[in-house]
Amino acid sequence: MMLATASRAAARAATRSLSTSATAPALKNPGVLKIGLIPADGIGGEVIPAARDAILALGSALPKTEFVTLDAGFEYFTRHGEALPDETVHALQQECDGALFGAVSSPSNKVAGYSSPIVALRKALDLYANIRPVLAVPKDPNEKPSVDLVVVRENTECLYVKQETLTFGPDGREARATRLITERASRRIGLKAFEIALARPRKHLTIIHKSNVLSVTDGLFRDTVKAIPSQHDKYADVTVAHQIVDSAVYRLFREPEIYDVMVAPNLYGDILSDAAAALVGSLGVVPSVNAGDTFVMGEPVHGSAPDIAGQNKANPIAAIRSAALMLRYMGFSDGADRIDAAVDAVVRDGSVLTPDLGGRSGTNEVAAEILKRI
């Protein structure tokens, strides 16, 4: 019985070991871990301080840690005419070892001169993988979580190349968008997804596509990812399935337990991860990292939530878990485990939660409760 409990606990812990690199990275300034904080808009300014405090609470578990707050976002754009100042990109590239991004507000109608800074940042730092673990916290820690999957979203192309045109034709205005899928980007996101699958107990990868309709673009994505095990023997133990995105959403809601790692082009990955968030209670609990080969930026999956911004209602858990995920990817997995365990304990206890999880507490109280347990 004890053995079964221990092995279940081990299996559960293993679901969080996403990274295969166990050693801490070389810091840009030896002995000092420098983290860039980009709260940006809306609730970003409320949840990023909570994430910073969670990192600080780890104390001597990390090297001496310094933070630098950096500008970006729509509010910044309205004041300064640019959404992503060069100084922010420069500071991240030159000084920081990692970063945490809050959320941006992007107006749904085009505003001249404005372009989403998060999309630009992912490109500028070549953070080509958006890794989004979605994990339910069962009441009993020995119980298998009802949802335990990772969405691995390609982060640099697809429709997010933002090449849109508006012309006039016999049917009135005609809008077109370019959807770019390259073999190189599909291969590197595929490799990332196989690497993540290999480190998880189930070692199962589902390739998400719509190649029944988009046979050229999605066909290239699917076939490129599918070919990886034939080029790399190390992935022989990973089982591979592929599925059309719409039925994948259906099955995700009906039987989330069939999924382990899902790899998808940019837009499908974005939608799938918000959908999966509904299965674990709230967008306010789902973290992500934007990862490249040399830099990692944590970012909650949610947006700037203008409906609750400034009201001390935002759930800080997604941002706090994003800090943990960033640390995990940087090789500080003990610190990451401590933060995740503290969040698990607060969620399980259930008495201090924000309204999105049915609670009555504010952002600050939930953050304080988590800090107390780190």
Catalytic center residues = 160, 210, 246, 270, 274
157 binds, among Mg ion, ligand NAI, none (CB under 5 to 8 A by kind): none
Rounded distance between C-alpha atoms, residue 231 and residue 43, angstroms: 44
Coil/strand/helix, residue 149: strand
Q: Which residues 263-282 are close enough to bind ligand NAI by CB under 6 A?
A: 282
* Smallest distance from Mg ion to CB 3, Å: 41
Residue 302 binds ligand NAI, judged by CB under 6 A? yes
Q: Are the CB atoms for 336 and 327 separated by under 8 Å?
A: yes
Q: Which of these segments, 78-86, 168-176, 300-308, 328-336, binds ligand NAI (CB under 6 A)?
A: 300-308
Residue 154 binds Mg ion, judged by CB under 5 A? no
Sequence-ordered list of residues with C-beta below 8 angstroms from that of 224, at least 6 positions apart, any chain: 183, 186, 187, 190
Nearest-CB residue to ligand NAI?
303
Among residues 104, 196, 240, 346, the one that binds ligand NAI under rule CB under 6 A: 104
Sequence-ordered list of residues with C-beta below 8 angstroms from that of 58, at least 6 positions apart, any chain: 335, 338, 339, 374
CA 101 to chain centre: 10
Backbone angles phi, psi at 135, to 5 degrees: -135, 120
Among residues 158, 205, 305, 347, the one that binds ligand NAI under rule CB under 6 A: 305
Residue 88 binds ligand NAI, judged by CB under 6 A? no
Residue 105 binds ligand NAI, judged by CB under 6 A? yes
Residue 306 binds ligand NAI, judged by CB under 6 A? yes
* Smallest distance from ligand NAI to CB 138, Å: 21
User: Taking CB under 6 A as the rule, which mask of x and - marks residues 308-347 in contact with ligand NAI?
Assistant: x-----xx--x-----------------------------
* Smallest distance from Mg ion to CB 273, Å: 7
Residue 75 binds Mg ion, judged by CB under 5 A? no
Residue 304 binds ligand NAI, judged by CB under 6 A? yes
Residue 59 binds ligand NAI, judged by CB under 6 A? no
Q: Which residues 270-289 are close enough to bind Mg ion by CB under 5 A?
A: 270
Residue 234 burial (10 A CB sphere; 0-12, 13-18, 19+)? exposed
Q: Kindly state the tokens that stand for 31.
A: 């002995």
Nearest-CB residue to Mg ion?
270
Coil/strand/helix, residue 43: coil
Q: Which residues 212-271 are close enough to bind Mg ion by CB under 5 A?
A: 270
DSSP string for residues in 64-94: EEEEEE---SHHHHHHHS-SS-HHHHHHHHH
Among residues 23, 171, 307, 351, the one that binds ligand NAI under rule CB under 6 A: 307
Rounded distance between C-alpha atoms, residue 336 and residue 328, angstroms: 6
Among residues 121, 356, 362, 369, the one that binds ligand NAI under rule CB under 6 A: 356
Q: Kindly state the tokens that stand for 270.
A: 């974005």
CA angle 11–298–123, rounded 5-degree value: 125
Alpha helices in the chain (DSSP H): 2-14, 44-56, 74-80, 86-94, 117-124, 183-198, 217-226, 228-231, 245-254, 266-279, 317-330, 333-349, 363-373
Q: Kindly state the tokens that stand for 99.
A: 């970063």
CA angle 140–141–142, rounded 5-degree value: 90
Q: Which residues 19-58 are close enough to bind ligand NAI by CB under 6 A?
A: 43
318 binds, among Mg ion, ligand NAI, none (CB under 5 to 8 A by kind): ligand NAI
Residue 118 binds ligand NAI, judged by CB under 6 A? yes
Whichever of 23 and 109 has its CB closer to ligand NAI, that residue is: 109
Angle, to 10 degrees, between the axis of helix 117-124 and the axis of helix 86-94?
40
Whichever of 195 and 270 has its CB closer to Mg ion, that residue is: 270
Residues near ligand NAI, by CB under 6 A: 43, 103-106, 118, 282-284, 302-308, 314-315, 318, 354, 356
Residue ranges binding Mg ion (CB under 5 A):
270
